[in-house]
Amino acid sequence: MNSNARQRFVDALHRRNTGLPPVWFMRQAGRYHSHYQELKKRHSFMELCKQPKLAAEVTYGPMEAFGFDAAILFSDLLFPLEAMGMGLDYLPGPRLDWHLRRSEDLKRLKGGADLASRMDFQAEALRLIRAHYPDKGLIGFVGAPLTLYFYAVEGSHQGDVSSAIAGLTDGRFEGFTARLVDLLAENMCLQAEAGPDAIALFDTCGGELSPEQYARHAVPALELVLKKFRARYPLMPLIYYSRGTDAAHWLALDGLPIQCMGVDWRHDLSQVVREWGGKYSIQGNLDPEWLRDLKWPELEARARSVWEPLKALGPEARKGWVCALGHGVLQQTPEENVRNLVRLSREVFR
């Protein structure tokens, strides 16, 4: 029987967790939470990310309030774009000074492993959190190449993404990833050095590509980053989250050194665990809109409708399951729903 939260999390990543499933939510620290709102009155989002003590403080908020098993570094995935020379601010949504609209713009883009030291504040925050929580899971993270590229081109992930799609074949994606790969792998290494239990890669834009485009463009770039990282950190578990993707996309990930797959809320969790749970740990996947919009009794019923069938598969089947959402906690989510849901996960799987 696993003894503490960290062990639960690590065991699940290795698909050998026989006790309670570990629980954490993407964006568990953020604008829905009063603790974060209080800190935001005194500090900008940039300060909260870049001053390690503050970043650690933000991270602790939801851990203390809701009892999650794993803490995630409080940061953002766009800092590599800033390091590459794109100019970044949050107002509060991310704003880049310029976008990768034409192939000529590649000239303005810096690259290389040396730039990763600009993300040292992430490693520093991870060290503080690790020292503070020796018995909790701890997750570092970066954006996957495709998702960073989408932000570089579009500045956001809303509306028309046709320019980003066009850039897959006009040299922009290739030029961008050529500059990014060493930087991103080194960014992951700097975080890994600070002692997390896993590093997550967020590929929120994955589903914008057809499975063919994804296999041809996104996966090779991801593979370059992961192989470089793996050469230095052969054992660090990697969590790969993508949104809007399905089995046809996931098949293209075959052979990549990924331990855990984060799936979005569109998928039947039990089915994913049955079909993919022999190969990966599975993380997910309640709909964040349920958490934001539903009163507790209705949310409880919906959560049970996802969790009870998983439970019915038996303890062997869920040895690799990480209890999580299918995306991040949304801004207007009531804290009570978060608190109740963490508690319910322990009740259902006790």
Interacting residues toward ligand CP3 by CB under 6 A: 26-31, 40, 45, 72, 74, 76-78, 90, 92-94, 141, 202, 204, 328, 331
Kindly state the smallest distance separating residue 150's Cβ from ligand CP3, in Å: 9
CB nearer to ligand CP3: pick between 120 and 300: 120
User: Please, what is the minimum distance in Å from the beta carbon of residue 194 to ligand CP3?
Assistant: 15
How many angstroms separate the CA atoms of 138 and 45, rounded? 21
Residue nearest ligand CP3 (C-beta atom): 92
Nearer to ligand CP3, 12 or 72 (CB): 72
Complex with ligand CP3: residue 152 or 236, whichever CB lies closer:
152
**HSE-CB for 317 with a 13 A CA cutoff:** 17
User: Closer CB to ligand CP3, residue 200 or residue 310?
Assistant: 200
For the CA atoms of the chain, what is the radius of gyration? 19
Distance in Å, CB of 230 to ligand CP3, minimum: 22
Cβ of residue 148: shortest distance to ligand CP3, in angstroms?
9
SS3 at position 332: coil
Q: Which helix (DSSP H) or strand (DSSP E) does residue 89 occupy?
A: strand 88-90
How far apart CA 149 and CA 99 sit, in angstroms, is 10
Give the pair of three-digit tokens for residue 130.
């690790």
Region at 67 (left for phi over 0; alpha for psi -120 to 50; beta for the rest): left
From residue 300, how far is each of 264, 296, 336 by CA, in Å? 19, 6, 12
- In this structure, the number of other CB atoms found within 10 A of the CB of residue 9 comes to 28
Distance between CA 51 and CA 60 in Å, rounded? 15
Task: Return the number of the residue (22 or 30) whose C-beta is nearest ligand CP3.
Answer: 30
Residue 132 CB, nearest distance to ligand CP3 (Å)?
16
Q: How far is the CB of 314 from ligand CP3 (least distance, A)?
A: 31
The Cα-based distances of 105 to 75, 97, 100, 125, 176 in angstroms read 27, 12, 6, 33, 10
Q: Which residue, 92 or 220, has its beta carbon nearer to ligand CP3?
A: 92
In angstroms, give the least distance from the CB of 120 to ligand CP3. 18
Give yes or no for a contact between 269 and 306, defined as CB atoms under 8 angstroms apart.
Answer: yes
Cβ closer to ligand CP3: 190 or 348?
A: 190
